[in-house]
Amino acid sequence: MAKKEVLRVENVGMKFNLSQEKVDDLKDYVIKLLKRQLSYNEFWALKDINFSLNKGDRLGILGLNGAGKSTLLKVIAGVLKATEGTVTSKGKIAPLLELGAGFDQQYTGRENIYLYGAVLGFSKKFLDEKLDEIIAFSELGKFIDVPVKNYSSGMKSRLGFSVATLVEPDILILDEVLSVGDAKFRKKSEAKIMSMFDKGVTVLFVSHSLEQVQRLCNKAILLEKGHIIANGSIDEVSKIYLEKTK
């Protein structure tokens, strides 16, 4: 079976400007401009990132805090625009970054399903069909018609997880999210992710639990200060990672 490439990351670099003092109002800006005090402190959070994934690949991204894992995922999701290089992807990308943080607090769970679904680029018809399934999976019961501001953070994560996974994306981005909710929901969500693997979804996975990454992924890259220092099968890369962190 010929493998279909679904994601290609080429020469990606991401530069941030760390202004020493954050200038975010017009008055300060004009004063600083006149005094010529606008200084910029540039810094590459990612540099020369190259890799590609085929359909069904499950890539673990390893690295210490601040290595650039979240930044890389955001560039792939299209939320951040890379300073240089290109990302080409095929199919629908569903990012699960801090689940449910994008919900509207005044809106009920049900209304948020449509809103979040629309943000992910799905049609009304599709969401209509999926609605019952999403509600059932979230286990919110009658809370589905209560404004989200009355939810616990666990309930919000459950709803976010249910929308983002039940809509069957082609590429799923998981940034430290499989540790939300209670033990029972965690198990259920891991099972859900596993069943998506069977359907051939492509996954980018970040977790602070190496054991979880080893269990879920078949490939890995290791990031250090924004550079890829190892790229290969999960076993090879986690060996290098363990040596590094020893």
Partner 1 sequence: MKTYIENFKKYRFLLMELVKKGVKLKYRRSYLGILWTLLEPLLTMIVLSIVFGTLFGNTDPTFPVYILTGRLMYTFFNNATKGAMKAIRANAGMIKKVYVPKYIYPLSSVLFNYIIFAISLIVLVVVALVLKVYPTIYLLQAVIPLILILVTAFGVGMILSTMAVFFRDLEYLWSVGLMIIMYASAIFYKPERLFASGYGWILKLNPLYLIIHNFRQAVFGHPMNMKFLAASIVFAIVSVIVGLVFFYKKQDEFILHI
Ligand X SMILES: Nc1ncnc2c1ncn2[C@@H]1O[C@H](COP(=O)(O)OP(=O)(O)O)[C@@H](O)[C@H]1O
Task: Give the DSSP per-residue string, 175-210.
Answer: ES-TT-S-HHHHHHHHHHHHHHHHTT-EEEEE-S-H
44 is a site residue for partner 1 (CB under 8 A): no
Local structure of 123: helix, strand or coil: coil
Q: How far is the CB of 176 from ligand X (least distance, A)?
A: 8
CA dist 241 and 63 (Å) reads 8
107 is in the binding site of which of Mg ion, ligand X, partner 1, none (Cβ under 5 to 8 A by kind)?
Answer: partner 1
What's the closest the beta carbon of residue 123 comes to ligand X, in angstroms?
32
Binding-site size for partner 1 (CB under 8 A) equals: 32
67 binding ligand X? (CB under 6 A): yes
Neighbours of 236 (CB within 10 A): 14
Residues 65 and 41: beta-carbon distance below 8 Å: no
Residue closer to partner 1 by CB (options 29, 235) is 29
Which residue in the set 21, 88, 121, 149 belongs to the binding site for partner 1 (CB under 8 A)? 121
5-17, strands of its sheet edge to edge: 42-54, 5-17, 84-89
Kindly tell me which of 124 and 239 has the beta carbon lying closer to partner 1. 124
Whether residue 210 contacts residue 241, with contact meaning beta carbons closer than 8 Å, is answered with yes
Determine which residue in the list 37, 39, 54, 66 makes contact with ligand X, applying CB under 6 A: 66
- Asked if 41 touches ligand X (CB under 6 A), the answer is no
Side chain identity, residue 104? D
Tell me which of Mg ion, ligand X, partner 1, none is bound by residue 139, counting a contact when its beta carbon lies within the kind-specific cut-off of 5 to 8 angstroms: none
Quick one: which segment of 44-52, 115-123, 217-225, 229-237 binds partner 1 (CB under 8 A)?
115-123
Beta strands 58-62 and 219-224, pairing class: parallel
Pair type for strands 171-175 and 202-206: parallel
Scanning residues 63 to 82, which ones bind Mg ion (CB under 5 A)?
Answer: 70
Restricting to residues 81-100, name those near ligand X by CB under 6 A.
none
Residues 6+ apart with CB under 8 A from 153: 100, 180
**Position among 66, 102, 141, 154 found at the interface with partner 1 (CB under 8 A):** 102
* Cα angle 148-153-159, degrees, rounded to a multiple of 5: 60
Question: Residue 244: phi, psi to the nearest 5?
Answer: -60, -40
**Which stretch in 33-41, 68-76, 81-89, 93-101 sits in contact with ligand X by CB under 6 A?**
68-76
- Is residue 63 involved in binding ligand X (CB under 6 A)? yes
**Under rule CB under 6 A, residue 69 binds ligand X:** yes
Where do contacts with ligand X occur on this chain (CB under 6 A)? 16, 18, 45, 63, 65-71
Q: Kindly list the residues in this chain that would bind partner 1 in the complex (CB under 8 A).
A: 16-17, 24-27, 29, 77-81, 93, 95, 97-98, 101-104, 106-107, 111, 114-115, 118-124
